[in-house]
Amino acid sequence: MNLPTVFPSVSAQGADIHGLRMTFNLETQDLDEGRARQLTPERLRLFGCPCDWRANTGFDPNHNDALDALHGEWVRCVAAHSVSWREPAISAWVHDEHAEPYASDDELKGLVLNMEMRRAPAVEAYETGIGRLDRTRFLSPSYNGKHFSPGSLASRRRSKYSQFFLDLRPETIGSLFWSWFDDAFTLRDMSIADAAEEPLSFLQGTEGIWRKFATDTQVRVAMDTTAPIGFIGNQDLEHVVIALHLDSRTAPAYPVTLAEAERIMSPSGLRPIKSAEYGSPAP
């Protein structure tokens, strides 16, 4: 992945850090071997994000913008509890497969000691903020039966609640959410030196929604599914809401009208999101 990070311009033992790319005079040493030697499994765990986002239901390995944003917030938490900008810089390096080493082995040993003393409060800050999205349990419509009730299509059209055409799998609802998340949060360049004080900034102007994920206990997001996904009465619906209960880490979903979706997402606006599995509307 390619965490867009702007490092302070520093010269230390042959290392020049300008922007994301970190160059180091390794002479004949292979870069991959150097990275593997310096970033041992123990150090990866120490400096790395405490949440395995790729393991989340519906999370696609290609959701690179989502990973950049989620890992960028981890770098901010490290910066807020670190001795210097170097500890969060290493945390950013951990999540950038293409970056080159910038610290000598002796320097890295000192940073390891600093991080060992300060990782716990950084993890707490992360897990009580954006980390609450980790391991969210997306609920099929039939879980409570409110938006997917048994019976014929004709009888279901008489329900006072909106209905899904199909009983979507949790993986499908998770895919909808994480696809929306990946589309909504493209991280701008961030400065490691200012990471502790400066909140993340996104190209889409979605900082307000991001703050809700970090602070609120319930967050609703609506999206345009670009195809009929449900109905209410005789009106087919192409918009869906995913309601995230961050305290219990559960997320039911339900179809809504365009007007309701726009109201929920104002002022950020709706985003069209396609899923691999909607199925065809029932005949």
Q: Is the pLDDT of residue 9 over 50?
A: no
| pLDDT band, residue 97 (cuts 50/70/90) | low
pLDDT, tens digit, for every residue of 185-212?
999 988 888 888 899 999 999 999 999 9
pLDDT at site 274: 65
Q: Which of 146, 185, 206 is nearest to 64 (CA)?
A: 185
Residue type, 31: L
Q: Which of 109, 70, 66 is nearest to 86 (CA)?
A: 109
User: For tokens 């900008």, what's the residue?
Assistant: 85
Q: Is the pLDDT of residue 283 over 60?
A: no
Of the candidate ranges 35-44, 121-130, 169-178, 199-208, the one whose mean pLDDT is the lowest: 35-44
Token readout for 100 is: 């080159």
d(CA 64, CA 78): 21
Of the candidate ranges 63-77, 93-107, 230-244, 260-274, the one whose mean pLDDT is the lowest: 93-107
Q: Is the pLDDT of residue 233 over 70?
A: yes
How distant, in Å, are the alpha carbons of 15, 74, 101, 114 from that of 108?
13, 19, 10, 10
| pLDDT band, residue 24 (cuts 50/70/90) | very low
Q: Is the pLDDT of residue 27 over 80?
A: no
| pLDDT band, residue 92 (cuts 50/70/90) | confident
* 101 vs 138 pLDDT, higher one: 138
d(CA 232, CA 234): 6
How distant, in Å, are the alpha carbons of 35, 47, 54 from that of 119?
21, 8, 21
Token readout for 71 is: 């890992």
pTM over 0.85: no
* 4 vs 124 pLDDT, higher one: 124
* No. of helices (H) and no. of strands (E), the chain: 9, 13
Question: What is the distance, to the nearest Å, from the Cα of residue 129 to the centroid of all Cα atoms in its chain?
Answer: 12
How distant, in Å, are the alpha carbons of 211, 224, 242, 274 from that of 237?
29, 9, 14, 14
d(CA 237, CA 256): 6
How distant, in Å, are the alpha carbons of 246, 264, 278 from that of 72?
20, 26, 32
Q: Is the pLDDT of residue 100 over 70?
A: no
pLDDT at site 12: 31
pLDDT at site 34: 55
d(CA 156, CA 175): 26
Token readout for 207 is: 């900082």
Contact predicate 226/272, CB 8 Å: yes
d(CA 166, CA 281): 7
Average pLDDT over residues 49-60: 96
pLDDT at site 25: 29
pLDDT at site 260: 97
Token readout for 85 is: 């900008």
Burial status of residue 170 (CB atoms within 10 A of its CB: 0-12, 13-18, 19 or more): middle
